[in-house]
Amino acid sequence: QTISRRMLTLLPRELVLKLQVLPISQKNSTLVVATFLTDVPVIKGLIAQHTKQEDIQLVLTRPTHLRKIISQLYPKTKPGA
């Protein structure tokens, strides 16, 4: 699935890396976010706080797959770069 630039700008990089979540699509008024974590209320609350989106659907994915995609979309930068 292709992730639009708009989806990548919805959450700060630091939050994506900290929570290991990735906004993947918007279906009507629902923001769909990939995660492998199970602490759903906390994750939904933090995402809602940053996106001002009330309807958030979390979809579970394999940790290795999600980490690989996040590292490609949000590469680590060298200090001072």
String of DSSP letters for 7-42? HHTSS-HHHHHHHTEEEEEEETTEEEEEE----HHH
What pTM value is reported for the model? 0.84
pLDDT at residue 39, rounded to an integer = 75
Q: Residue 78 pLDDT > 60, yes or no?
A: no
What are 19-29's pLDDT values in tens digits?
A: 999 999 998 89
Domain residue extents for the chain:
5-73
Q: Residue 30 pLDDT > 60, yes or no?
A: yes
> Which fold would CATH assign to domain 5-73?
GMP Synthetase; Chain A, domain 3 (3.30.300)
Q: Is 61 left (phi over 0), alpha (psi -120 to 50) or beta?
A: beta
Could you tell me what percent of the chain has a pLDDT over 70? 93
Q: What is the mean pLDDT of the chain?
A: 89
Rounded-to-5 percentages of helix, strand, coil across the chain: 40, 25, 35
Q: Residue 5 pLDDT > 70, yes or no?
A: yes
- Comparing CA positions, the residue from 76, 55, 77, 81 lying closest to residue 23 is 55
